[in-house]
Amino acid sequence: MSAILTIIKREFTSYFYSPTAYVFIVIFLVLSGFFTFMMSSFFTNNESSLLVFFSWFPWIYLILIPAVGMPMWADERRLGTIELLFTMPVTAVQSILGKFIAAWLFIGIALLLTFPMVITVGYLGYPDYGAIACGYLGSFLLAGAYLAISGMTSAMTRSQVVSFILSAVFCLLLIFSGWPPFTDMLVEWAPTWLLQGAASLSVMPHFASIQRGVIDSRDLIYYFSVIFFSLFTTGILLRTHRAG
Amino acid sequence: MIKVENLYKWYGTKLAVEDISFSVNKGEILGFIGPNGAGKSTTMRMITGFIPISKGRACVGGFDIEANPIEAKALFGYLPENAPLYANMTVRDFLLFCLELRGFRGKQLKEKTDKVIHTCFLNSVQHQNIDTLSKGYRHRTCFAQSIIHDPDVLVLDEPTDGLDPNQKREIRNLIKEMGKNKAIILSTHILEEVEAVCSRVLVIDKGRKVFDGTPDTLKGKSEKAGIIHVEIFSSDAAALTSKLQELDGVLRAEIEKEDGDFAVLKVFPDRTRPSQELCSMIHEVSVKERWKLGELKVEQGRLDEVFHCITGNDA
């Protein structure tokens, strides 16, 4: 357990040693503000909720989270530090979890820094704070799912660029898999079970349901299974690479 | 402390390490030498548990690296090839991180870090970011992380690679000092390093062990080892040569150089007696015959020549 904490501490502080953290946070806040106020005309909606604000997250995350996740293992392999890490008395599970949790916490902090949005709606009207809390929880879980996928693609390659593109595509598939144009493409030839399977992979219904202020165990299970599957695959990929 | 039994490694169908066995005890420094791509790093990576073993067994301090990796890994320090480091940390933070990963806490963290920073001459750069360091400092920082917890076993993959001559000497002295109460494996392709540091040598070539013994035995394999050069002041070198040839233990003697009343003779021993004994016999003869002896020198045999003979068959 203490080894995980040590890894979390190092990974987390390393974000702030490099420009990554600051660039990420600034761009995240600017983008989320821009989309909410300019694209969704937040004020003219005349609604004291953060629904439009949260609705942009699956898209903003699509670019930003792969950027946070891409160095996770690709850099370790490129620099060779993975050889240091895996010859320390630490298990692969501890390393994988430690790195993942550190990155997730970092994104959580960026998410918390959007608090002026909450103050704004609170000042202008009477929002449902429970729904806002759920919105944040849903966004945090979504970030975790994307991040786990980015970590997995990062373990596939030494190149951060390849990792970025792969994870953006995988995350996009998660968004699109329940989307009618995508399912229509499958409906012509795919058996029903595949169609339903693909649709059930979609992240959107789960994201929307938590935003409405309902924490359904099915949504939690969905997010945690995506995270678990991705972390597990990361472990297998790392082991395969070392075996040569 | 380190025990390796019939180690094999296949990469796909390519055999990288074939049937390597050896053991290293406390107080021993084993030099691992061989040409590039011979399988030195692969073997070390298997011993340290970084890559899985295809066949065979490696134990550190009695713990099998595959069955009890955590216990085994706690016992050794490892310096990987090219000394990898996390770039976005200071030297001190990096060393603290390595200690914490190994489970050290509290006062020990500061003590051990201070000590290793002092031993590895890192004082001046300890608060500097690692990516701003020169190669020598980077290498020493990675070396520092391998010895920071004072392990019983050290595995060092090319510990002096990329250092300048002074730094090389410092690190070698350090390794030699630590070798008194640790079991150390180090790989290198610098032969002088083997002579300077190691108590035992293991030569591997194309994944196979081709020699295991002391550096002196390895040198003894040289064809030139044991030849005695006799510098003498005399105008009749041929007569001297035939006189020396009559000595017991001399295979043959020949003139190496002749210049007026000065000559250098080469005496090939038949290896039935030590070269030193032969030297004193030559000395006795020269006293008896009233020769003016300039110098007697025994050829030591050169490691690079032996190395070339053993490993350079198709090079």
User: Phi-psi bin for B4: left (phi > 0), alpha (psi -120 to 50), beta?
Assistant: beta
Interface test with chain A among B43, B88, B98, B104, by most A beta carbons within 10 Å: B88
C-alpha B1/C-alpha B76 separation (Å) is 10
Angle B46-B215-B167 from CA coordinates, rounded to 5°: 75
pLDDT tens column, B208-223? 888 888 888 887 777 7
- A contact test, residue of B46, B86, B102 with most A CBs within 10 A: B86
Could you list the residue range(s) of the whole structural domain that residue A122 is in?
Answer: 2-41+64-243
Q: Considering only alpha carbons, which residue of chain A is nearest residue B79? A: A84
Dihedral pair phi/psi, residue A199, rounded to 5°: -65, -35
Distance from the Cα of B27 to chain A's closest Cα (Å) equals 23
Domain contains A118: yes
> What is the count of structural domains for chain A?
1
**For residue A34, is pLDDT > 60?**
yes
Tell me, yes or no, whether A36 lies in a domain: yes
Report pLDDT digits (tens) over B150-162: 999 999 999 888 7
Q: What is the pTM of this model?
A: 0.86
d(CA B255, CA B88) in angstroms, rounded, equals: 65
CA distance B265 to B231: 6
Q: Is residue A52 part of a domain?
A: no
Range with lowest mean pLDDT among A38-42, A213-217, B139-143, B242-246: A38-42
Q: Which residues of B touch A239 (CB under 8 A)?
A: 52
Could A2 and B50 be called an inter-chain contact, meaning their C-beta atoms sit closer than 8 Å?
Answer: no
Enumerate residues 127 to 166 of chain B having a beta carbon within 8 A of any beta carbon in chain A: 129, 142, 145
Q: Report CB contact under 8 Å: A84, B51.
A: no
Confidence of residue A1 (pLDDT cuts 50, 70, 90): low
* Angle between helical axes of A217-243 and A71-79 (0-180°, round to 10): 10
| Distance from the B175 Cα atom to the nearest Cα atom in chain A, whole angstroms | 20
- The answer to whether B84 contacts chain A (CB < 8 Å) is yes
Which value does ipTM take for this structure?
Answer: 0.88
Q: What is the 3-state secondary structure (H, E, C) of B68-113?
A: CHHHHHHHEEEECCCCCCCCCCEHHHHHHHHHHHCCCCCHHHHHHH
Is the model's pLDDT at A151 over the cut of 80?
yes
Give the pLDDT confidence score for residue B315 in this predicted structure.
Answer: 42
Q: Identify residue A89 by its one-letter amino acid code.
A: P
A20 domain-assigned? yes
What's the pLDDT score for residue B313?
Answer: 58
Mutate to test the interface with B, among A11, A16, A83, A158 (most CBs of B within 10 A): A83
Residue A43 above 80 pLDDT?
Answer: no
B203 in Cβ contact with B284 (< 8 Å)? no
CA distance A243 to B46: 10
- Record: contact A242-B52, CB cut-off 8 A: yes
Longest dimension (CA), chain A: 60
Q: Collect all residues from A whose CB is shorter than 8 A from any CB in B.
A: 2-3, 6-7, 9-10, 13-14, 17-18, 79-81, 83-84, 86-91, 239, 242-244
Mean pLDDT taken over chain A: 89
B235: number of Cβ within 10 Å: 10
Helix, coil or strand: residue B18? strand
Instruction: State residue B245's pLDDT score.
Output: 80
Residue A56 lies in a domain: no
Which regions of chain B are under pLDDT 70? 312-315
First and final CA of chain A: distance in angstroms?
29
Shortest CA distance from A86: residue in chain B = B50
Q: What average pLDDT score do residues A232-244 get?
A: 89
* Cβ atoms of B265 and B237 closer than 8 Å: yes
Chain A hits for B84, Cβ within 8 Å? 79-81, 83-84
Spatial strand order in the sheet of B14-24: B14-24, B2-11, B55-60, B63-64
Question: Which pLDDT belongs to residue B264?
Answer: 85
* pLDDT, average across residues A37-59: 81
B49: left (phi over 0), alpha (psi -120 to 50) or beta: left
Chain A residues with CB-CB distance to B93 below 8 A: 13
Tokens of B310: 């053993």
Domain contains A15: yes
Tell me whether residue A55 is in a domain.
no
- Residue A48: inside a domain: no
Cβ distance A83 to B85 less than 8 Å, yes or no, reads no
